[in-house]
Amino acid sequence: MRKIIENLSHHLDDYECMWNGIEDIYMNKTGEKIPDQFFFAMSGFCSFAYIKTNKADIKRMVSFGDGRTKKMYEFLAPIVGFNYHHIECKSPELALTKAKKEIDNGFPVVIGALDMYYLEYYTKLYHKEHIPFHYVLMIGYDDEEKNIFLYDCGRKEIIKLSYENLLLGMNAEYKGLCKPNTICTIRMDRPNSKKDIFKSAMKLKSNMFLNPPTKFLGINGLKKLSKEILNWEEELGKQETDKILRNIVEFCGSVPTTPNRLNGISKKDEVVFMCSRDKMSKVLIELGKEYKNNNLVKSGELFKESGKQFEKLCNIFIDYILDTKKDMKLASDVILDIAEIECSAYQLVSKGLDEI
């Protein structure tokens, strides 16, 4: 049997794989044009949490934005106006069977996480590097040719993926983020407008940062981190501190990755380590111009400056890990700079939202 969902337009927007297909569904449903990285920025970016977990492997959890797929969906789904259901199957074969039933009923389905080692259309990664954290939108299948049809955030055209590689790729697990053999069904009957989504999401994000309910979240958490980071090595030792800093740096990348310097490679990194502030900046500036709102444009410029401070912070941490230079006082000062910049940015966002 062969089935493909026709007339579903797709937009190219790399590094937002878990949202790209859902944005496709949204734009096809509403006719709205949204900025690149829109759902990603509205959900996971630019929050903050600092948690001490002495019994865990990483004893100081520092999060400058929650990029966990399920948490992002949980936050944004009611704001956008869609329903979703993650189905975790016992086998990849069962996951494929359920996905095909969705296609038969006329609904595209999010597949993932997938290990990019098995995605034959990514020639630089295929059978070369395991990256078990990628999502695609399945829009069809062909039992005779034994492949699925999909849209990928990094490709414009409809892509074929063999059943064999799909089944191998679905057996991927990213600890704390996803389980193997998972698909996600989407229903989007009457989604809200882009403006309503933007206002609702940014109002919540601004309030969570500026008026956090506890001392380890938002602006309070950043100030707490800036003080306590000075004592990490004395409290935990160099090895544990290195582990914490490495985790922070990796998750500051456009995608979670180890910087080349930490791998002993002199080549420039393919991703930037701006903790996605560059992406939030672009969304705010684009919508600020569209809505003729200078406060939103200025807030976007501030997030761009915050992103530059994150690059500086990551380099300080990398120097510390490599024993090139130890300067936690400078790191503490940069964290305070980030706190002040983002506090001003969110205050401008709040003003801007009242004007549109």
Write the pLDDT tens digit of every residue in 265-306. Answer: 999 998 999 999 999 999 999 999 999 999 999 999 999 999
Residue 78: inside a domain, yes or no? no
Question: The domain containing residue 103 runs over which residues?
Answer: 2-20+89-181
Does residue 97 form part of some domain?
Answer: yes
Range 115-123 average pLDDT: 94
What is the number of helices (H) and of strands (E) in the chain?
12, 9
- How many domains does the chain contain in total? 2
For residue 28, give every residue at least 6 positions away whose Cβ sits within 8 Å of its Cβ, in sequence order, or none: 8, 9
Q: pLDDT at residue 132 above 90?
A: no
Whether 241 is in a domain gets the answer yes
**Shared-domain flag, residues 295 and 225:** yes
- Portion of the chain with pLDDT greater than 90, in percent: 90
Provide the pLDDT for residue 53: 87
Q: What is the chain's length?
A: 356
Of 129, 150, 181, the domain-final residue? 181
pLDDT at residue 131 in the model? 82
Query: How far lies 337's CA from each of 46, 62, 64, 220, in Å?
Result: 15, 17, 14, 13
Picking from 46-55, 152-161, 310-319, which range would have the lowest pLDDT averaged per residue?
Answer: 46-55
pLDDT at 45 over 80: no
Q: Considering 138, 153, 181, which residue would you say is the last residue of a domain?
A: 181
Residue 176's pLDDT band, with cuts at 50, 70 and 90, is low
Both 241 and 264 in one domain: the answer is yes
- Are residue 224 and residue 349 in the same domain, yes or no? yes
- What percent of the chain clears pLDDT 70, i.e. is strictly above it? 99
The CA-CA-CA angle for residues 3, 81, 90, to 5°, reads 50
pTM of this prediction? 0.94
**239 backbone dihedrals φ, ψ, rounded to 5°:** -65, -45
Mean pLDDT of the chain: 95
Strands of 223-277 (E only): list them: none
Shared domain check, 165 and 232: no
CA dihedral for 317, 322, 323, 325, sign (positive or negative): negative
Please check whether residue 141 lies inside any domain of the structure.
Answer: yes
